[in-house]
Amino acid sequence: MTDINDDPLVIAGQTFASRLILGTAGYPTQRIMADAVAASGCDMVTVSMRRISLAGHGSDTVSLLKGLRFLPNTAGCETARDAILTAELGREALGTDWVKLEIIGDRETLYPDAAELLKATEELVERGFTVLPYCFSDPVLCQRLADRGAAAVMPLGSLIGSGLGVSDPALLEQLCRRSPVPVIVDAGLGTASDAAIAMELGASAVLLNTAVSKADEPVLMARAFRHAVEAGRLAHRAGRIPARRRAEPSSPQMGLVGS
């Protein structure tokens, strides 16, 4: 029998038991956020360096989630220069050289700026960062990011916060098959089945925030995503049957009574 614990996620030589990464923004309360993170079973959480409280108070994110790996992100940055400065702030404040690199090129769609992303990835890697860039589901761009040293790529499933799920399954499957680094689907997932689909298509992990933080019951939704990610990964490893446009009986037709 296959055990999900025998199939850890590995990024830049670091091993994670969970293939779910959870964001920490937008929850009704900090207590609900902490309970949702616990219910998700995740090992790593993202924190925005432009929003997080680093004062060390008992109610802040850092104190509540002590013991987990923090993945600072550069949310809100629009240039490589701003993202690099924000990444350095995260390294100094949280003692980690890991960074989720976000550089937004369009405020309406929140699409990433590919040119700035490539520039920032290359410089951050040179500065010793482990870079996980938020990007398009574009095999060419993802390859170029990997060539510049990205430890993983984080293609959007659909528009940030939209809940539309995986908008182009065929493209995501191709990207997962071709990528030389782990593919972490980031943005647009709305419910547990979306995560299962992303994992079945070959994603190494999923990262989500709004789908949990804005759910009617965030803790319950976090638990649902936990099981969906595990189920999707197991299904991918098991190998699905081919899709057919005709019925095919599951029992043999020879030797039927009366035949």
Annotated binding-site residue numbers for 1-deoxy-D-xylulose 5-phosphate: 161, 187-188, 209-210
User: Taking Cα atoms as reference points, which of 106, 94, 103 lies closest to residue 123?
Assistant: 103
Q: pLDDT per residue over 42-92, tens digit each?
A: 999 999 876 554 544 334 778 788 889 999 999 889 999 999 999 999 999
User: Taking Cα atoms as reference points, which of 232, 218, 170 lies closest to residue 22?
Assistant: 218
Domains of the chain: 4-238 (3.20.20.70)
Tally the C-alpha atoms within 13 A of residue 37's C-alpha that lie toward its C-beta: 26
Two structure tokens written together for 237 = 């490893």
Q: Is 66 a catalytic residue?
A: no
Residue whose tokens read 């220069």? 81
DSSP structural state of residue 217: S
Candidates 66, 100, 119, 214; catalytic one: 100
- What is the distance between the alpha carbons of residues 213 and 203, in angstroms, rounded to a whole number? 22
Render each residue's pLDDT in the chain as its tens digit; 259 residues. 445 568 899 999 999 999 999 999 999 999 999 999 999 999 999 998 765 545 443 347 787 888 899 999 998 899 999 999 999 999 998 899 999 999 998 888 888 999 999 999 999 999 999 999 999 889 999 999 999 999 999 999 888 888 888 989 999 999 999 999 999 999 889 999 999 999 999 999 999 999 999 999 999 999 999 999 999 999 999 998 888 888 877 766 665 666 5
DSSP structural state of residue 241: P
- What is the distance between the alpha carbons of residues 89 and 211, in angstroms, rounded to a whole number? 28
